[in-house]
Amino acid sequence: MSPSPPALTPAAITTRLRAAGCVFAEDEATVLLADAATPAELESRVARRVAGEPLEYIVGWAEFCGLRVSVAPGVFVPRQRTTLLVREALRVAPRRPVVLDLCCGAGAIGAAILAARSDASVYAADIDPAATDCARRTLAAQHRSSSAAGGDAHRWSSSAAERDAYRDPTPPYVYTGDLYSPLPASLKGTVDVLAVNAPYVPTDEIAFMPSEARDHEARAALDGGADGLALHRRVADGAREWLTLGGHLLIETSERQASATAGILEHAGLSVAIVRDDEVDGTAVIGRLGPAG
Ligand SMILES: C[S@@+](CC[C@H](N)C(=O)[O-])C[C@H]1O[C@@H](n2cnc3c(N)ncnc32)[C@H](O)[C@@H]1O
């Protein structure tokens, strides 16, 4: 008789995860156990995690600002440091803001803004169709829950959003393509909050990233070009065309690259400030279009 397989108790799973080097083994065991339908599925999940696959790809979601964000293999897993960008976006957003989450990945930033501001009209775009599939799922769920809570961005929407609602009455507005190119022209000059976490890792430094990023996330989600700032330049170049007067461009960057990112936004004609949050290790540059004040 062959020996029976080891029981998949929380303690046994935690031990296996810890042995594989998972720092938050106990928390991860809880997540893996949570909605596994069968013991076989649970065993497969644990084996994948022990082999180094990111937890978020195994369960299909990541936690961000208290929300469940849909993620699929290869799609960038939202990081806690990006909560700074959300906080700052909410701080500068006017009433009924038109928000564009550019390089949206799984749509975490747009969804978190919508969760906090049901009067927002949120647009999102990314070059990776796997990412925009996830963003569409997450933003659709957030739209449903915001509407159920009494908010209705489209009832209160700005004129640009109303024009798009007429053409495509089903939010969310998620577009696939290179930077601004897939966006509806009607959005030009109307964006109050342009929130961007584009890739900013210098190409040569990708090799030094943790395996979970380097080996599992799409290269295009990480690679910011030779100095890491190639996308920042392109985003800043286009920003004036899409922002409304007084609108803000917020870009996540690293502490080391912050002054270079700020210089790029300044060169694009925006007045800039750098914000930093040590607690989440987040850095962002905020640029404002229009007269100071
Ligand atoms: C660092 S990830 C951030 C994703 C998301 N904003 C977040 O914070 O979770 C960068 C994203 O930029 C997208 N991206 C890279 N180059 C792009 C381009 N030229 N146009 C649009 N999106 C691009 C990638 O596909 C990836 O989803």
* pLDDT of res. 151: 55
Bigger pLDDT: 26 or 291?
Answer: 26
Pocket lining: 108 vs ligand 1, CB cutoff 6 Å: yes
Nearest to 28 by CA among 40, 44, 16, 41: 16
Mean pLDDT to the nearest integer, 112-132: 97
148 and 25, same domain (yes or no): no
- Tell me the residue range of the domain where 21 lies: 10-52
* pLDDT of res. 167: 44
34 and 164, same domain (yes or no): no
Pocket lining: 85 vs ligand 1, CB cutoff 6 Å: no
113 and 37, same domain (yes or no): no
Q: Which residues, in sequence order, are bridge partners of residue 67?
A: 64
**Ligand 1 center from residue 119 Cα (angstroms):** 25
Task: Transcribe 33-60 into DSSP letters.
Answer: HHT--SHHHHHHHHHHHHTT--HHHHHT
**Ligand 1 center from residue 14 Cα (angstroms):** 33
Q: Is the dihedral of CA 139, 142, 147, 153 positive or negative?
A: negative
* pLDDT of res. 4: 57
Q: Which residues, in sequence order, are bridge partners of residue 267?
A: none
Whether this model's pTM surpasses 0.85: yes
Residue type, 89: A
* pLDDT of res. 3: 57
Pocket perturbation via mutation, ligand 1, pick of 71, 76, 79, 134 by most ligand atoms within 8 A of CB: 76
Pocket lining: 131 vs ligand 1, CB cutoff 6 Å: yes
155 and 277, same domain (yes or no): yes
25 and 114, same domain (yes or no): no
Token reading at 43: 């065993």
Residue nearest to atom 27 of ligand 1 (CA): 105
Pocket lining: 161 vs ligand 1, CB cutoff 6 Å: no
42 and 162, same domain (yes or no): no
Mean pLDDT to the nearest integer, 121-149: 93
* pLDDT of res. 137: 96
Q: Is pLDDT of 228 > 70?
A: yes
31 and 85, same domain (yes or no): no
Nearest to 76 by CA among 168, 184, 212: 212
Q: Is pLDDT of 159 > 60?
A: no
Predicted confidence (pLDDT) per residue in 74-109, tens digit: 999 999 999 999 999 999 999 999 999 999 999 999
**Ligand 1 center from residue 12 Cα (angstroms):** 37
Q: Is pLDDT of 184 > 70?
A: yes
* pLDDT-derived band at 149, boundaries 50, 70, 90: confident
Q: How many domains does the chain have?
A: 2
216 and 254, same domain (yes or no): yes
**Ligand 1 center from residue 201 Cα (angstroms):** 12
Q: Is pLDDT of 162 > 90?
A: no
89 and 42, same domain (yes or no): no
CA distances from 29 to 14, 17, 80 (A): 6, 8, 20
Bigger pLDDT: 117 or 168?
Answer: 117
Q: Which atom of ligand 1 is nearest to the CA of 197?
A: 6
* pLDDT of res. 150: 62
Q: Which atom of ligand 1 is nearest to the CA of 78?
A: 9
Predicted confidence (pLDDT) per residue in 238-279, tens digit: 999 999 999 999 999 999 999 999 999 999 999 999 999 999
Q: Is pLDDT of 147 > 50?
A: yes
Any idea which residue has 């993620």 for tokens? 71
Q: Is pLDDT of 174 > 60?
A: yes
Average pLDDT value for the chain: 91
* pLDDT of res. 25: 96
Pocket lining: 67 vs ligand 1, CB cutoff 6 Å: no
Q: Is pLDDT of 56 > 90?
A: yes
44 and 160, same domain (yes or no): no
Q: Is pLDDT of 23 > 60?
A: yes
Pocket lining: 213 vs ligand 1, CB cutoff 6 Å: no
State the CATH number of the domain containing residue 145: 3.40.50.150
Q: pLDDT over 70 for what percent of the chain?
A: 90
CA distances from 19 to 49, 102, 201 (A): 11, 39, 30
Residue type, 96: R
Pocket lining: 105 vs ligand 1, CB cutoff 6 Å: yes
